[in-house]
Amino acid sequence: MERARILTNSTVVCAPLMARSVEQMVIDMQRAKAQGADAVEVRLDFIDSFQPSPGPGNYHQKQAIARHHPYAPKGGTDNLEFVAGGLGIIILAVDDEEHNCTRPRWEGGQYEGDEHTRLEALRLAHDLGADYIDVELKVASDLVGEVKNKHQAGGKVIVSSYLNGATPSKEDLGHLVARMQSTGADIIKVVSNADDITELERIFHLLSRSEVPAVAYSLGERGLISQLLCPKFGGALVYGAMEGNSIPGLPTLDNLRETYKVENINSDTKVFGLVSKPVSHSKGPILHNPAFRHANYNGIYVPMFVDDLKEFFEVYTSPEFAGYSVGFPYKEAVVQFCDEVHPLAKSIGAVNTIIRKPSDGKLIGYNTDCEGSIAAIEDALKEQKSINGASLNSPLAGKQFVVAGAGGAGRAIAVGAKSRGARVIIFDIDLTRAESLAQVVSGEAKPFESLAHFQPENGAILANATPIGMHPSTDRIPVAETTLGSYQLVFDAVYTPRKTRLLKDADAAGAITVSGVEMFLRQAIGQFNLFTGREAPKDFMREIVLSKF
């Protein structure tokens, strides 16, 4: 019967397995399938008793894995077959600690043993029925020919190359791919270790132009989108980590299947992302991706770890990259890279949303933080019946409004508060920055250290727009705890955790509290409208926030 084929209509999701025993490997294969993997990549060198040789003990180890793997027909088989749309097992032979993968030292791995013995182990793995074996470019030509001559019915070989240093130019990658394709590989695999997210554009270029099925990605947090966007650019396989087995740069199987639904991504999918540094804390993908699907909009929202804004916008100019959220610390700096800026964002001096105009590719900057935060605060005051419901004035009119932080979020909140008639006082570690914002809102500026001793008016509003209290440093608050009783309402822009220590202490002091989750939801609704040109499914998005945040 013909061996398994990786060529399917959609990208295959593969889980790397690194168990220390055959028994645990078999258990992990079952777990991987239950968590949504189409394929598993068995790292034989992680088995404690394994030696890369064709001895009888190792024969039985591989045979045991083959008999019990969850993609085989019921009853077990020594041949890892293609069954019901599932993919079998890719077996590798030596360890690469950088990606928990199996590589000799000269390909960036850790294996220093006898090369002949290592290749014999690969041959044995293939003879026992591994759907694919993964061999390095250096030895590929002879081994690929041998496998194809021996298994003319369909023996499959992945030819791979692990790159050291910066990702090569498109031209050099093209030459590398040509060499790999010339070996007769069924699939080629290129793995880099990008120092900057802009290098990944070369990876996407490779995927979209390869003449044979290709796997290409980069390691680490900056390389995450090379996995998530792999299906869009034609990649044959995307890796996902099992629950409890975190691997830097790999999404979890659950994220691939539930958050991103990679099986739905195609070449027409529009890419949106959060431009930030760091970016791992963001819950944007959990909200935007289900909202896109609910509205039947073909888009994906991904985290983008960006080190250099100028270089990022110079490289990612394709209309496929249709828009961005902008997070810390770039909301002010990004304004200069926008071709046009909406008047509200211009008055604030900060942008949190960018749209690429389809007609000419120009970047248009907006700010949805302002209305998102102020509307959340006003609604909370109204719900507490703090004002007469019939009043046409904002409940913030005339109130002292204390803003901690004069960065992008602080600027949006301060401008919004001023627009509602509040008297704004800004505290920031950079007094010059606070004074600049105070001029915009006709307010006062004070050094941040004085906030610990500041006594607000009774009934004042406090808004924390600093990262203080954000996970993992959750035990700090920006003000003196004894002053919280003087505030009518305390708002915290931090939303991880949802109930920060500041909000807990303010609640205990009797103040109305508003979580940053409310601001996040409302600004995200505004972003959805801008991203898609459609009305956001507000109730659906609120349900997601209530259930998953």
Angle between helices 115-127 and 56-68 (to 10 degrees): 40
**By CB neighbour count within 10 A (0-12 exposed, 13-18 middle, 19+ buried), where does 203 fall?**
buried
Tokens of residue 61, six digits = 């180890």
Q: Which phi-psi region, left, alpha or beta, contains residue 349 (left: φ > 0; alpha: ψ -120 to 50)?
A: left
Residues 6+ apart with CB under 8 A from 52: 44, 45, 58, 93, 94, 111, 113, 117, 118, 120, 121
Tokens of residue 330, six digits = 């770039």
Cis check: omega of the bond before 329, within 30 degrees of 0: yes
Q: Which residue has the tokens 């109130």?
A: 399
CA angle 394, 349, 452 (to 5 degrees): 70
**DSSP3 helix / strand / coil % (the chain, rounded to 5):** 40, 20, 40
Decide if 377 contacts 392 (C-beta within 8 A).
no
Decide if 96 contacts 107 (C-beta within 8 A).
yes
- Active-site residue, selected from the candidate residues 189, 270, 283, 331: 331
Angstrom distance (rounded) from CA 118 to CA 52 = 5
Decide if 363 contacts 275 (C-beta within 8 A).
no
Select from 163, 162, 212, 223 the least CA-distant residue to 183: 212
Angstrom distance (rounded) from CA 285 to CA 539 = 17
Residues 6+ apart with CB under 8 A from 178: none
Angstrom distance (rounded) from CA 332 to CA 317 = 21
| Residue 74 annotated among the catalytic residues of the structure | no
CA 429 to chain centre: 31
Residues 6+ apart with CB under 8 A from 266: 231, 232, 298
Angstrom distance (rounded) from CA 175 to CA 206 = 11
Q: Which amino acids are annotated catalytic?
A: 331
